[in-house]
Amino acid sequence: MTATASTAPTIKNTAGKNELPPHLNENLLTPRFYTTEFEKAAKTDLNIAPEDFEAIFKEMEADYNLKHFDRKASLDRLNELSPSDKAVYESYLVRSVISEFSGFLLFKEISNRFKKAGRQELGQFFQFLSRDEARHAGFLARALKSEGINVDLPNLGKKRAAQFFPLSWVLYSLYLSEKIGYWRYILINRHLKANPDKACAPLFDFFEPWCQDENRHGDCINMLMRCWPGMTKGFRGKMLSRFFLWTVFLTHTLTVCERGDFYKLLGIDPVLFDEEVIIQTNHTSRNAFPWVYKFEDGKFLKMRMEILDAFRKWRESSGLKKPVALTKFISLLLKQFSLPMEKTSAMRYG
């Protein structure tokens, strides 16, 4: 749910429409929205894991981060940024607010569907999830407003039709989205606490409660996956684990390393950051997925850079060189996708 910022023509100030400054691409305001098998989801059997559901429901109901995003912080630090660094920061804000808002819409729709199907407990559960995503999106929108950038979030859903995915795909991808988000935020938070001079914006003061929300959301999705044991059994479970781990890790590498300016702004090496996030997310996924990638031999992590180099060469090539570069890129993708995995001891029910 991200897009690459690039130079774009000035967007006129038109009432009722989103506006971005010239250094941001309006394509950033074209989020991806998703829909799924709502009728099937409404048949989720909570009796498979009643104690887990009750525990995580109470934790979400407690709303531990209710006031964590309401504090006002001085914006003086932003005045020290150069125009180019400020553009990098603003691009990150726009991508993030769109991602959080699309998550809010998905959770809200699932909540409404559950309630209509008479599953009030599940409806309330997803209402808690949508509440958190809305809070994140609102917080980011306020940060953008302080930069003079107004994003009309309610109208973004009209820009693209929702894309359908099976329920199993949604649960696997949501789990990884939340857990990889947790590791991204917590690693940035740890780095900035050790290097406070690099915390150039008040946004980073809130990364700790933010990563707590991401981690908790991942646990919520894990609980739901346990209520659908067929999704994690046998060949199907292995292929779903492989596909979604590989897809999320590949996307993360291309995103972080291609947008390295943001991490360099914080004093973070994007390549090393990407590697650590992938390692930690793969390890955390042992709690939910039946299979994870084996990293001991270093092949998967090393191949990231080969794939990134091939991607750049394909993108920059032209003429007869382009299909050759594309073939090399695809062959590396398939090779990485097929690397060995190892079975986990993730607890299952049913």
Output 210 or 301, whichever has higher pLDDT.
Answer: 301
Contacts from 2-7 at CB under 8 Å and sequence distance 24+?
A: 2/95, 2/98, 2/99, 2/255, 3/27, 3/28, 3/30, 3/95, 4/258, 4/259, 5/87, 5/91, 5/94, 5/95, 5/259
Report whether pLDDT(13) > 70.
no
The mean-pLDDT minimum among 23-32, 63-72, 96-105, 285-294 falls in: 23-32
Q: What is the SS3 assignment for 12?
A: coil
Host H or E run for residue 101: helix 83-116
Most confident option among 7-11, 41-45, 146-150, 242-246: 242-246
Query: What percent of the chain shows pLDDT beyond 90?
Result: 59
Are 185 and 207 within 8 A, CB to CB?
yes
Are 36 and 164 within 8 A, CB to CB?
yes
What was the pLDDT predicted at 4? 30
Output 97 or 335, whichever has higher pLDDT.
Answer: 335
User: Cα(105)–Cα(110) distance, rounded to whole angstroms?
Assistant: 9
Helix axes 167-194, 234-258, angle to 10 degrees: 40
- The DSSP annotation for 145-166 comes to HHTT----GGGGGGSSPPEE--
Q: What is the mean pLDDT of the chain?
A: 85
Report whether pLDDT(287) > 70.
yes
Report whether pLDDT(140) > 50.
yes
What was the pLDDT predicted at 23? 56
> Positive or negative CA dihedral for 292, 294, 296, 299?
negative
Report whether pLDDT(19) > 80.
no
At 130, list the tokens: 């949508």
Report whether pLDDT(264) > 90.
yes
CB atoms within 10 A of CB 96: 20
Output 120 or 208, whichever has higher pLDDT.
Answer: 120
pLDDT band at 246 (very low <50, low <70, confident <90, very high): very high
What was the pLDDT predicted at 18? 56
In this predicted model, what pLDDT tens digit does every residue of 106-130 receive, in sequence order? 899 999 999 999 999 999 999 999 9
Are 217 and 59 within 8 A, CB to CB?
no
Report whether pLDDT(7) > 90.
no
Domains, in order of start, for the chain: 34-69+78-343 (1.10.620)
Report whether pLDDT(17) > 60.
no
What was the pLDDT predicted at 249? 97
Q: What is the SS3 assignment for 319?
A: coil
Amino acid letter for position 70: D
Report whether pLDDT(9) > 50.
no
What was the pLDDT predicted at 339? 97
In this predicted model, what pLDDT tens digit does every residue of 176-197 receive, in sequence order? 999 999 999 999 999 999 999 8
In this predicted model, what pLDDT tens digit does every residue of 220-234 receive, in sequence order? 999 999 999 999 999
Contacts from 264-272 at CB under 8 Å and sequence distance 24+?
A: 265/85, 265/88, 265/89, 265/198, 265/200, 266/188, 266/191, 266/192, 266/198, 266/199, 266/200, 266/204, 267/191, 267/195, 267/198, 268/188, 268/191, 271/305
* DSSP designation for 341: E
> Which among 128, 116, 142, 154 has a CA at the least distance from the CA of 16?
154
Mean pLDDT of 52-75: 80
What was the pLDDT predicted at 203? 79
Model pTM?
0.88
